């Protein structure tokens, strides 16, 4: 069974659309987006995130768990602390774009 070029392109587009949708789903919550924005500045442990963002347990742990399951953040353990960081360059680029559109005074409202 031969697939035409159009069918292959549609299949690739459908797979890319699903991947993008899955990725965006992880960002589609204000607390998760806030966490990711903070982590785009560098890794942080749960206590630091709680203090910096005024997010509290159990919501903070729940949202970090979602981000980890979605593959948006990675962790490393140092003693009793778990440090979170952005998982990949693709997510960081997406956050930078969102920042330039919604947060940067030069890009806001344009």
**pLDDT tens-digit profile of 11-41?**
899 999 999 999 999 899 999 999 999 999 9
| Structural domains of the chain, with CATH | 5-102 (1.10.10.10)
Give the DSSP per-residue string, 16-72. Answer: HHHHHHHHHHHH-SHHHHHHHHHHTT--EEHHHHHHHHT--TTHHHHHHHHHHHTTS
**pLDDT tens-digit profile of 61-103?**
999 999 999 999 999 999 999 999 999 999 999 999 999 999 8
pTM of the complete model: 0.83
Which residues face 84 on adjacent strands?
44, 75
Q: Specify the 3-state DSSP secondary structure of 89.
A: helix
Q: pLDDT band for position 104 (50/70/90)?
A: confident
- What's the confidence (pLDDT) of residue 50? 96
């Amino acid at each position: 069974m031969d697939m035409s070029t159009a069918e292959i392109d549609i299949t690739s587009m459908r797979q890319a659309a699903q991947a993008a949708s899955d990725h965006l789903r992880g960002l589609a919550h204000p607390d998760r987006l806030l966490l990711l924005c903070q982590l785009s500045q560098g890794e942080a442990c749960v206590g630091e995130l709680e203090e910096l963002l005024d997010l509290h347990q159990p919501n903070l742990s729940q949202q970090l768990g979602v981000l980890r399951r979605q593959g948006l953040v990675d962790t490393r353990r140092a003693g009793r602390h778990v440090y979170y960081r952005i998982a990949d360059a693709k997510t960081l680029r997406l956050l930078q774009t969102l920042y330039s559109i919604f947060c940067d005074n030069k890009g806001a409202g344009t």
